[in-house]
Structure 1
Amino acid sequence: MMNESINLIMAGRTKRLRRYYLVTSLLASIAIALCCTMLMLGNTIYPASDVISVLLGEKIKGASFAVGTIRFPRMVAGVLAGFAFGAAGYVFQTMLRNPLANPNVIGITAGSSAAAVFCIIVLQASNAFVSIASIIGGLLTVILIFLLSKGTSFSIGRLILIGIGIQAMLNAVISYLLLIGRQNDIPAAMRWLSGSLNGAKLDDLYPLMLTVLIFAPILILFGKQLDMLELGEQAATSLGVDTNRTRLVLIISSVLMIALATAATGPIAFVAFLSGPIAKRLAGAGFSGIIPAGLVGIILVLASDLLGQFAFTVRYPAGVITGILGAPYLIYLLISMNRKGDL
């Protein structure tokens, strides 16, 4: 009898593992296909052979500039930012056990945006200074949210409510800055706020690249502890998880990835919000969803950028398309949570 139960458990685990690897491989294949499409597609469509030659350093008239200077940095920015938003959003939603607990909703990206807009409109600062200010703004915002939500004990509900309040306040600050800004500065601020891959340059992406290469493996390494945190504080502690240390590592890693991604591309709306639930629904339970969520984030950003460029008569930034996709899901989530009594 016991052997049959063990065999059933093992069979179930094998089935879930097979599904996880299949879904992850499929998501990676879609992400690679979108990367190739971004490199080939534009005002001039270049064959794959020309794209490969340019990437290998060969000079081809027209293609070298279009692919090497414009499309390749744009694609890299989409991959890095998409993975950062997707993975970090999944971490916050899982760790805080609430689908609303993502960087967009609880105000972290709003902190980065407010700092960036202040630098653009008030200080007329350079792009490098705007990026640094965006990172600092995001970090200070998350510190403020956690300090205000600490109380006598850690409360997820309190953190989310305070985060939403901070976000509303920062959005009001952004609106005020746009009202008092000079006409020449407002378009630059609006482009940044919309979340876009336009004008991406490889030299500006190295900090984000380094951050993702350092902190993404850390998040993956802490994937099991993250899944245990989802069970609750007491359950995670009884399973041997140092909850304070684990939460600190996950928060620092996620916030740094979000801040650098926001500094590079602006706050691309709802990618962090949508990636986790989509990845969890596709890959199933039982295994860490950090990698699938990161891949979903890449797909959302790249697909939205392609749709924004070529699906309409007017070109739209990626953040506008992701906003259109994410807003209905947010409304659906709020209605379903209200029916369940979770709000």
Structure 2
Amino acid sequence: MSDRGTSSRKTAGAPAAAGSPLRISEAALADAARTVAGVRRRGGRRALAVGLGLAVAAFAVFAVTLSVGDMLIPVGDVLATLFGGGDAGSQFVVLELRLPRALLAVLAGAGFGMAGAVFQTVLRNPLASPDVIGISSGASAAAVLASMVFAASGLVLSASALIGALVAGVAIYVLAWRKGVVGARLVLIGLGVGFGLNSLVWYLMSRSEVSTAQNALLWLTGSLNGRSWNQVWPQLIALAVLLPLTFTAARTLRALQLGDDAASGLGARAERSRLALLACGVGLAGVSTAAAGPVAFVAFVAAPVARMLLPGRGAVLPHAALAGALLVLLADFAAQHALPGTQLPVGIVTSVVGAPYLLWLLARANRVGRGG
């Protein structure tokens, strides 16, 4: 065998020597492509399985919520009633009393969950959720102001909360702008704006009548008590508009996660894309707060739960929405039945879950040297 043939085989099969051009065989490239494709398929199957699992769990809790109450209705009868069957009593209890509340829990939870995922992913900060950085505080301040000054209620109160969230979001973005927006700066400014708005809320409550302050406090806690179809339809229509817009804007999310320079190199307009995503997140948080009040910690917790189930999958927006819906359904079921004869605001239950998680996150950040 000639020296030339031996040299050729060494060049093709062994790593290139220092100073020589790197040569990769077509077989190695094909193997790498097959490996990447296999990883993507496995990741896609896992994402589908997790999504179906969250959806099935949410539907199960949804059905149990419609079944359990002062009048116990078997789940089979509940399903029959939802599809047009059942007697008159079951139809009234399920369709008029329980279904609007359960649907609103799903819609508000999905809105909060996706809003939290958008903020935390775009700003690359686990503390960046609407209820932490002042968006929900803006909705609360506007709602309390409208109810106490103009005696607003119903849809007018919800519209006031939505406008307050949008105004707070714009103010935070403008204050955080320094030739662009950095996640840490926006979070800190949002915290400051949130504290200021909360002070305004408590000042207004201290100047109001006792009965008015009590109603405002119930709304500020986040509650689904007494909700009807009047709150469901606006939330459903708003999400039907906002969810497609969010998914469309999220096409540039992977590029933004690489940093502004890399995103620009990939053809994405980083600041415009970030602004569009943050606007969608503010809208989702605003309409959900308008429908159910500022339900604490749902936006904060839902996205990390989804990412824990799907590590390395990025924003996981649909999974965060499903996790948020499941969390609010579970919390509202506990709020209705934890204490016999008493219906608690759902925000109390979500706070019991979310506050320890916030403390754990802060302790973990300090332990690994990121807490400042």
What TM-score results when the alignment is normalised by the length of structure 2? 0.88
Q: Does 1:206 find its partner at 2:203? A: no
Residue identity matched to 1:8: T
* Contact kept in structure 2, 1:100 and 1:273, CA below 8 Å: yes
Match of 1:103 in 2: 130
Which residue is equivalent to 2:269?
242
Residue 179 of structure 2 corresponds to residue 179 of structure 1: no
Whether contact under 8 Å (2:307, 2:314) holds in the other structure is no
Q: 1:48-74 deviations in whole A, cap 9, x for unaligned?
A: 343234334557343222211110000
Give the whole-Å Cα distance in 1 for the aligned partners of 2:114 and 2:34.
Answer: 33
Tell me the residue number matched to 2:357: 329
Contact 1:110 1:167 in 2 (8 A): yes
Cα-to-partner distance string for 1:92-148 (whole Å, 9 max, x where unaligned):
100010011110111000000111112223332222221111111100001000111
Aligned-partner SS, 1:124: coil
1:130-169 superposed Cα distances (whole Å, 9 cap, x missing partner): 1111111100001000111102432221111110001111
1:133 aligns with 2:160: yes
User: Given the alignment of the two structures, is residue 78 of structure 1 paired with residue 110 of structure 2, yes or no?
Assistant: no
Residues 77 and 86 in structure 2, CA contact (< 8 A), matched pair in contact too: no
* Equivalent pair of 1:40/1:51 in contact (CA under 8 Å): yes
* Letter paired with 2:353: L
**Equivalent in 270, 276, 282 of residue 309 of structure 2:** 282
Partner of 1:17: 44
Residue type of the alignment partner of 1:244: E
Instruction: Kindly indicate whether residue 344 of structure 2 is the aligned counterpart of residue 316 of structure 1.
Output: yes
Q: Are the aligned partners of 2:112 and 2:288 in contact in 1 as well (CA < 8 Å)?
A: yes
Residue 258 of structure 1 pairs with residue 285 of structure 2: yes
Corresponding letter in the other structure for 1:319: G
Instruction: Please give the alpha-carbon distance, in whole angstroms, between the structure 2 residues aligned to 1:243 and 1:162.
Output: 21
Aligned ranges for residues 21-36 of structure 1 at < 5 Å? 21-36=48-63
- Whole-Å separation in 1 of the counterparts to 2:196 and 2:182: 21
Residue 328 (structure 2) aligns with = 301
Q: Contact 1:50–1:60 (CA<8 Å) still a contact in 2?
A: no
Question: Secondary structure at 1:185's aligned position in 2?
Answer: helix
| Contact 1:304–1:321 under 8 Å retained in 2 | yes
Per the alignment, do residues 57 and 2 of structure 1 end up closer, same or farther by CA in structure 2, a change over 3 Å counting?
closer
Deviations 1:256-313 (A, max 9, x none): 1211110110011000000111101102223650000000000000000001111234
Report the CA distance shift for 1:92/1:288 in structure 2 as closer, same or farther (over 3 A): closer
1:216 positional shift: 0.9
Query: In the aligned structure 2, how far is the partner of 1:11 from the partner of 1:96?
Result: 31
State how far apart, in whole Å, the 1-side matches of 2:364 and 2:255 are: 25
Aligned residues of 2:250 and 2:277 also touching (Cα < 8 A): no
Matched, 1:231 2:258: yes
Q: In structure 2, what residue type is equivalent to 1:55? A: L
The answer to whether the 8 Å contact 2:331/2:346 transfers is yes
**Which is worse superposed, 274-283 or 220-229?**
220-229
The total of aligned residue pairs comes to 343
Aligned residue identity for 1:304: A
Change (3 A) 1:203 1:261: same
1:212 and 1:257 in contact (8 A); partners too: yes
How far apart, CA to CA, are the structure 1 residues paired with 2:314 and 2:129? 20
Q: What is the letter of the counterpart of residue 294 of structure 2?
A: P
Contact 2:161/2:290 (<8 A) preserved: yes
2:119–2:129 contact (8 Å) kept in structure 1? yes
Match of 1:60 in 2: 87
Distance 1:35 1:260 in 2: 21
Alignment match of 1:165 (pick from 178, 188, 192): 192
Shift of 1:237: 1.4
1:149 equivalenced with 2:176 (yes/no): yes
Q: Distance in 2 between matches of 1:242 and 1:210?
A: 29
Distance 1:68 1:5 in 2: 55
Query: For 1:53 and 1:238, how far apart are their aligned partners in 2?
Result: 55
Which residue in 2 is equivalent to 1:43?
70
> Does the 8 Å contact 1:102/1:272 carry over to 2?
yes
Report which structure shows greater RCO (CA 8 Å, sep ≥6).
1
Moved more, 239-248 or 320-329: 239-248
Specify the structure having the higher radius of gyration (Cα).
2
> Aligned partner of 2:145: which letter?
F
Q: TM-score, normalised by structure 1?
A: 0.95
